[in-house]
Structure 1
Amino acid sequence: MNEWVPVDLIHLSDGRDVSLVLRTVERHEPRRARVRAECLITTDFVNARLQTDIWLDHLEEWEEALRRLGAGEDAGWPQGSRGLELYFHPHEDGWLSLSVHDPDRLTVALGLRPPAEWIDEHEANLQRLRDACGEP
């Protein structure tokens, strides 16, 4: 049996002191609609770890959000969720504004300049998660 390895669906960082990571924290169980995850937020004024879930039926929506972000449009994910919600606003100069909203625990806004290839990296992360969960 293969050893389980966490998958970062989202990993954005300025390489210094601002980062947002959405990472699986346990192996996906077959026939489950979700995988346990944590959202890690680090800045010079916040260091937060939020327990959450990644719902597998929201992965197509994340794929669409990445498409929109690649086109320079705003995107939010997941839409209509009662839990953790992420909002992304790309700027023309390469800067990315992020908002993390968890209605029961935290709302925080971040800004960073991700590497130019960050959309491609996140599409690969999405495929890694789909593969790990046996999703098409």
Structure 2
Amino acid sequence: MADVAPGELVFLADDEGNSVAVNVLGRQPGWAAGLAAEIVVGTPFVSGRIDLVLSVSKLKSWGDALNRLDAGENAAWMEWDRGPSFSVQLSGERDCPEVVVEDEGSMVIVRVPLVPPDDWIEDHRQRLHQVTAHWVPMLSEQ
């Protein structure tokens, strides 16, 4: 994997122009243990973004989700938390993997079918490691 900025936690994209990213923007104002972040969805049909707040436990739960995906299971991330949820279904409605982003507040659900590269799980473990190594020490200083 090429060097990735420690703010790019998730980046899934395909050759059809579909992508879903989770970007860490910096410390969350007003909460010393939180990181301001956003989910960004881009497709030829629809695009959007939604803010979220990440904590150390949410970063750990993304690692757990990656382990489930590596074992061939679908995985939901932030499913029972306030704010948006993010899940990866390995065999979606169109017989390919899809990312589902749901915002309970607006009641909007976006399904993005995409076929990630073969090494995407290992790539995302490395992204998680880089984000954690960069941001967690700053959070623990508080």
Scaled by the length of structure 1, the TM-score of the pair is: 0.85
The 5-angstrom pairing of residues 96-135 of structure 1 reads 96-105=97-106, 106-135=108-137
1:107 Cα offset (Å) = 1.3
**1:68-126 deviation per Cα after TM superposition (whole angstroms, max 9, x unaligned):** 101110100013112110111113xx931111001123311110000000000100010
Which residue identity does 1:47 align to in structure 2? S
Distance 1:6 1:38 in 2: 14
Distance 2:50 2:136 in 1: 25
Unaligned runs of 5+ in 1: none
1:7 to 1:81, Cα distance in 2 relative to 1, 3 A:
same
Distance 2:77 2:114 in 1: 18
Tell me the C-alpha RMSD between the 2 structures: 2.4
- After superposing on structure 2, the runs of 4+ consecutive aligned residues of structure 1 that deviate more than 4 Å are none
Secondary structure class of the residue paired with 2:17: coil
Aligned partner of 1:46 in structure 2 is: 46
Aligned partner of 1:77 in structure 2 is: 77
**Contact kept? 1:75, 1:89, Cα under 8 Å:** yes
Unaligned runs of 5+ in 2: none
Structure number with greater CO (CA < 8 Å, separation at least 6) is 2
1:6 Cα offset (Å) = 5.2
**Contact kept? 1:28, 1:133, Cα under 8 Å:** no
Distance 2:136 2:85 in 1: 24
Secondary structure class of the residue paired with 1:25: strand
1:35 to 1:43, Cα distance in 2 relative to 1, 3 A:
same
Distance 1:121 1:79 in 2: 23
